[in-house]
Structure 1
Amino acid sequence: MTKQPTRIPVDSRFGIGSLEVTSTSARSVVVQASGRGMFLTTSVGEGGTGSLNGLSFRVAQVGDGKTVLDFFPAK
């Protein structure tokens, strides 16, 4: 588990003021995002995807002390 949230910078065009990984486990990662008038918390397992305001991410790897997220614009 992460001890403190890991903040991820996001381009302002997505309207997301804050994006953080708040915890990880052997099987999933918890991501929180907020912006003007919105708040999202989601738990995504390895290989899963999430999306908010046109920004998507895929959990490429979770476990062994390493978490890898791939970010891309939603279509």
Structure 2
Amino acid sequence: MAGKLNILFITADQWRGECLSALGHEMVKTPNLDALAADGVLFKRHYANAVPCGPSRASLHTGMYLQNHRSGT
């Protein structure tokens, strides 16, 4: 049986996703995030299922819709 995978799931707030030099931004330099992106998985197109950022992250982490995890109420 193979060992367990280690997963680091990073969610960021208050900045735009295209503001990574790994995605070709001309002015912003993010060498540490670029190294993570090169060695892991980089989601170039991600869509939120809730408008407020807090409930959207709760949906992302729980896999539930806003009305089910009730973070937005």
Structure 1 length normalisation: TM-score? 0.29
Where is the strand percentage greater, Structure 1 or Structure 2?
1
Higher helix share: 2
Larger Rg: 2
Using CA pairs under 8 Å that are at least 6 residues apart, name the structure with larger relative contact order, 1 or 2. Answer: 1
TM-score by length of 2: 0.29
